[in-house]
Each structure stands twice: as C-alpha cells, then as structure tokens.
Structure 1
Amino acid sequence: MTRALSALLLSLCLACGSTNDDPPNPGGEACQRYSFPLSDTSSSSHVSSCSSTGCGNGENPPNSGMHCPTWLSCRSFDTEQPRCSWIHNLEHGHAVFLYNCPEGCPDEVAKLEDAMAKAAVGSNGVRRALVAPDSQLPKRFAALLWRRTYLMDAVDPDAITCLLALQDVDANEPGLTCPQ
C-alpha cells in the first residue's frame, strides 16, 4: 500500500511539474499575458466560388464564416491565397499564419514557418498549418485559428505557441488532415 501510494504521489508530482522544455498551455502562467478572444459564431456554409465576396465573418482578417468548398494544402506559400480557401482550412482546425510585407521580411516569415512546424500533425503526418502573404492585413502578421486571431507588428513565437495550444478547441470540424 505504501509503495503504491508513493508511486501515485510521484506520478502526480511529475504531472504537475514543468520544465522550460514544456510548451505553455492556454491556462498556463506563460500564456496568461496573451489574449485570444473568440469571435462571434457565424455561418460556416460554403459559397459557390472561392472568389466570392461573401466569404468570412466581417473581421480583418476573417477567422471564420462562409467559405469556399476547397481548402489549401498545408505548406508555405509565397503568393497570396484566396481568403475563402484558408477560412476552410481554419474550419478544419488548421492554423493559418499570414504576413503583409511588401518590402519583404524573410526573417519574420521564417519565424512563421517555424511556428507552422509546431502545429498539430494530422493522421497523414502533415502539419496542419499554412503560411501565406495577405495584403489586406491591418498589421504585418497574423496567427489564426477558427474564431481566434492574434495580430502582430513583429512575429511573437511565444504568443503563437500559446495560440497553438488552442488548435482544434473551437473548430467546427477539428482534427481533419491537410494535404501537403
């Protein structure tokens, strides 16, 4: 009995303990300084065309809402992609990392690609995230999940790690794989 109790206490202590290698969780102390509020619920229906102006939830950038029936592969793009498509990725629980750097910002894009490499992995082994430019962003960078947006003037890897702890939490169709 004493041996079993000791083992139980040890396992509880290990579960509660944290090292600097542990990623922060959404309720963890390291993430408390960030806010990733949920946007209002909106329709998640499909529109007839990916060029439709009816896509999104009215926010900039949109983080939910009506979207086209096709989604994007999970990779880094160097050309702007239709918002209607990556909204569909968000619905599937994918993370979307966007940048608006007309003058170029390869070091910051590399940080977004590093963040993409920390996203959840689908059953097909592909990281469920994408990186793409977006000329309509109100700030230089954005990290998005379904109904959550984090806007930045400079890429904040710690904030993105905290946001990624929420991946799939609110998505309509969480955990779906993404083609590469």
Structure 2
Amino acid sequence: TVAVVNDPAPQAREDIEITGLETFEDLDAEHVSTPVDYDQEPPVGGTHSSTWLNCGTYTQEVPEENAVHSLEHGAIWVTYDPETVPQDQVDTLQSALPETYVVLSPYQDMDSPITLSAWGAQVALETPGDERVEQFVNKYWQSPNAPEPGASCIGGLDAPGLAS
C-alpha cells in the first residue's frame, strides 16, 4: 500500500525522479462538448469535457474527455491493457493506489501493459509491482501542477463499468 495521506493539500513534490517519465507542457484546459483527438494515448491533458469522470475503478474503458477533466482536478489515471494484464495484476495495481483521486480503467492497444497518467505527465510500466507506481503517486497525486488541484473527483459522470 502506498504511504500517502488521503486528500492532502496539494503540494509540490518536484524532488522525486522517475525513470522513463515523459512530461508535456502547454496543455490547453478548454472545456468542450465534442470528441477530442489527443496526441497521447492515453491522454495527459488538454481540451476536455466540461463534466469530469467520477474517480474509481472501472471494468470498461472510460471516455477520454471526461477522464482528462479528472486529471485537471489532480487525479491520476491508471490504465492497463486488458489483453496483457490479468485480473490478479489489476488487483495488485489497485491495492497500490490511493482510495481517492484515482481512475483505474482498461485501455485497449497501449504501447505498454500499464500506463500512469497525471496532468502533463506519464510513465509506461510493464508490471504493477514496479517501484515507479509509488513514485508517480507520491509525485503527482493531488499535485499543484494540475490546473484545478483539489476540485471534486465525485459528482461528475459515472461511466459504464464503475466498480467502486
């Protein structure tokens, strides 16, 4: 289990180095009601739906535009390829994540089995036991780098497949 306090005040944690981390600058935070074609898969920010996705664990793919809005609020979006990651590894991954401000969902055709995304940051992983899961959570969960850190992660859209 990750050693973080639930719902901390957003705080900068720039001193954590994460091998393989990609960062993306100058992401637009405009709200739209149309589909968005993102440069990254899964996306890490940019134009998105005006309705955020309720944080939780999903058994089906979620709408990207709503998940990006959750990233805007300081959530982490953890995606896994359902073709290559068995359920026991999904369970291991879920147990390593905070209970709030996280979206966990399948995502087809990723370049890696697991991808962790936050607003403007992403890292690809092979296994849920990778130490970078904890590093990424500690650096980006409720990060002030998100445009609206601490804004609600509930009261938005429940996409199909919401398990918890």
Confirm or deny a common fold (TM above 0.5).
Answer: yes
- Change in Cα spacing, 1:103 to 1:154, as seen in structure 2 (3 Å) is closer
Confirm whether residue 66 of structure 1 aligns to residue 47 of structure 2. Answer: yes
Task: Say whether the 8 Å CA contact 1:116–1:131 is kept in structure 2.
Answer: no
**Cα RMSD after superposing both structures:** 2.3
Identity of aligned residues (%): 21
Cα distance in 1 between the residues matched to 2:21 and 2:85: 27
Equivalences for residues 22-171 of structure 1 within 5 A: 27=15, 32=17, 34-49=19-34, 52=35, 54-56=36-38, 58-102=39-83, 105-117=86-98, 127-167=100-140, 168-171=143-146
Task: Say whether the 8 Å CA contact 1:60–1:137 is kept in structure 2.
Answer: yes
Q: Deviation of residue 163 (structure 1)?
A: 0.9
Cα distance in 2 between the residues matched to 1:174 and 1:150: 20
Q: Deviation of residue 65 (structure 1)?
A: 0.6
Q: Deviation of residue 135 (structure 1)?
A: 0.6
Q: Deviations over 1:69-97 (max 9, x none)?
A: 11111110001111111011101100111
Which has the larger strand fraction? 2
Q: Any stretches of 5+ residues in structure 1 without a counterpart? A: 1-20, 120-126
TM-score normalised to structure 1 length: 0.70
How many equivalent pairs are there? Answer: 144
Q: Which amino acid aligns with 1:39?
A: F
Q: Deviation of residue 114 (structure 1)?
A: 1.4
Q: Any stretches of 5+ residues in structure 2 without a counterpart? A: 5-12, 155-163
Q: Deviations over 1:39-96 (max 9, x none)?
A: 12121101213xx0x243x112210111111111111000111111101110110011
Cα distance in 2 between the residues matched to 1:103 and 1:39: 27
Cα distance in 2 between the residues matched to 1:22 and 1:84: 30
Task: Say whether the 8 Å CA contact 1:113–1:131 is kept in structure 2.
Answer: yes
- Change in Cα spacing, 1:174 to 1:22, as seen in structure 2 (3 Å) is closer
Cα distance in 2 between the residues matched to 1:68 and 1:152: 27
TM-score normalised to structure 2 length: 0.76
Confirm whether residue 173 of structure 1 aligns to residue 148 of structure 2. Answer: yes
RCO higher in 1 or 2 (8 Å CA, sep ≥ 6)? 2
Task: Say whether the 8 Å CA contact 1:47–1:55 is kept in structure 2.
Answer: no
